[in-house]
Amino acid sequence: MVERESPLGQAYKPGRHGNVAEAAGVTLSETRPGSIVEVIAWPGNEKTALAAIKSATGLALPDRPGAGVSREGRAGYGFAPRRWLVIDDREGAARELHKAVAETTGVINDLSHGRAVIRIAGPRAEWVLSKLFAVDFSTGAFPVSNGCSTSHHEIFAQIQRTGKNQFDVVVFRSFARAFWTTLCHSAEEVGYEVS
Amino acid sequence: MRITCPYCGTRDVVEFTYQGDATVTRPDPASTDQAAWNAYVYDRANPAGKHSELWQHSGGCRAHLVVERDTVSHVITSVAFAGIKPNPARTTTPKRKSPARKAATRGKAAS
């Protein structure tokens, strides 16, 4: 496979930036997964679709709004009624899901080339994201593995908490550089490391 | 103003798009009744008080919602997915308000 080019381009500047008086508050990176797939169930087929996701990816997603599973190299969560996002480090998850999800159950949408995944990790991750999104990022309201869909101004974002202090933000590829730049500016006050 | 989306929870109103009055019912598309179409497109009650309206969580889960909102206080009394349960307000035939009903609404809004 030809390696996919990062949408961040020149805006991706590895190194230590912003406030350097203290340890970096956050680390920013692009995870570049091989597959980003949306699964959409027809009304009344939620359970069948979740079973199909489990058989294709091994992810047992709970049937609750925003609930998900996050594992090394693979994650999934519900982000809208009857819709789930599956992210896999490997390529080809769309093909497997396409086989597993019957056409009477729902449809899948391969977004691997349409989205970028930006990871924000570190003790100040909640703080930095709270400056951008009107969502409660505390662990009580937003537990590990949960996801949500929201937007920063007109940039639609799907966010999953993949660790206590780690979030993966999925944005449209064409908006990724703009969002990344905004995120870098927001992280300046706490100091950030691009890895 | 904040709207509690049944899926996403409470979110700021900037994530939502107003989609109009939820009390009007579109006439049968085959209908040639000009008065009915005119009423559907233009006639709105514009109540000062409780109002049933459609919103879309466009900056979130993209679900269409029926929101019961007080147009005076902006207090939201209920939010439900549109189209999941039959909404009695949307299945009734649109009628122009009779003077008696108009007076009753005005009385309620004033109290």
Determine the average pLDDT of the residues in A24-39: 96
Alpha-carbon dihedral A87, A93, A96, A101, rounded to 10 degrees? 30
What is the reported pLDDT for A1?
63
B15 touches chain A (CB under 8 A): yes
What pLDDT score does A2 carry? 74
CATH number at residue A19: 3.30.1360.120
Last residue of a domain, one of A95, A110, A125: A110
Is A124 part of any domain? yes
Q: Which residue of A has its CA nearest to B6?
A: A65
**Mean of the pLDDT values across residues A146-161?**
96
Single out the residue in A52, A79, A110 at which a domain terminates.
Answer: A110
> Is B61 within 8 Å of A151 when comparing Cβ atoms?
no
Please state, in angstroms and rounded to a whole number, the distance separating the CA atoms of residues A150 and A136.
Answer: 11
Supply the pLDDT for residue B98. Answer: 47
- Specify which residues B51 forms β-bridges with: B69
Q: Does domain B2-110 have CATH number 3.30.2270.10?
A: yes
What's the confidence (pLDDT) of residue B84?
56
At residue A19, the pLDDT reads: 94
Chain B residues with beta carbon closer than 8 angstroms to that of A148: 8, 60
pLDDT of residue A4: 83
DSSP-derived letter for residue B96 is P
pLDDT, tens digit, for every residue of A161-193? 999 999 999 999 999 999 999 999 999 999 999
Please give the tally of structural domains in chain A: 2
Whether A137 and A98 share a structural domain: no
**Which ipTM value was assigned to this complex?**
0.90
Residue A76 maps to a domain = yes
Q: Do A62 and A15 share a structural domain?
A: no
Q: Measured between CB atoms, does B79 come within 8 Å of chain A?
A: no
Pick the residue from chain B with its C-alpha nearest to A152. Answer: B59
Residue range A74-91, pLDDT digits in tens: 999 999 999 999 999 999
Sheet with B76-81, strands from edge to edge, namely B17-21, B50-56, B64-70, B76-81
Closest-CA residue in chain B for A146?
Answer: B8
Q: How many Å lie between the alpha carbon of B76 and the closest alpha carbon of chain A?
A: 19
Q: Are residues A139 and A181 in the same domain?
A: yes
Q: Are residues A62 and A129 in the same domain?
A: no
CATH number at residue A39: 3.30.70.1520
Rg value, chain A, Cα: 17
| Cβ-based contacts under 8 A for chains A and B | 37
Q: Could you tell me which of A36, A40, A34, A33 has the C-alpha nearest to residue A108?
A: A40
* End residue of a domain, out of A89, A110, A131: A110
pLDDT for A129: 97
A125 in any annotated domain: yes
pLDDT at B94: 42
- What is the b/e burial string over B49-65, where b = at least 16 CB atoms within 10 angstroms of the residue's CB? ebbbbbbbbbbbbbbbb
pLDDT at A25: 96
Q: Is the dihedral of CA B13, B19, B21, B25 positive or negative?
A: negative
Q: pLDDT confidence of A3, banded at 50, 70, 90?
A: confident
Answer whether B61 sits within 8 Å of A83, measured CB to CB: yes
State the smallest CA–CA distance between residue A171 and chain B in angstroms: 12
A123 in the same domain as A189: yes
Extents of the domains making up chain B: 2-110
- Interface contact flag, B11 A83, Cβ < 8 Å: no
**Mean pLDDT, chain A, as a whole number?**
95
Give the residue numbers spanning the domain of A140.
Answer: 9-32+115-194
Q: Going residue by residue through chain B (111 aa), what tens digit of pLDDT does each one get?
A: 999 999 999 999 999 999 999 999 899 999 999 999 999 999 999 999 999 999 999 999 999 999 999 999 999 999 999 985 544 444 444 444 444 544 554 544 444
Cβ–Cβ contact B62 with A under 8 A: yes
Question: Is residue A13 assigned to a domain?
Answer: yes
Residue B21 distance to chain A (closest CA, Å): 23
A143 lies in the same domain as A106: no
Is residue A3 in a domain?
A: no
Q: Do B61 and A149 touch (CB under 8 A)?
A: yes
The verdict on pTM exceeding 0.95 is no
Distance to chain A for B14, nearest Cα, Å: 8
Residues A120 and A180 in one domain: yes
Which of chain B's residues have a Cβ under 8 Å away from the Cβ of A81?
Answer: 7, 61, 63, 81
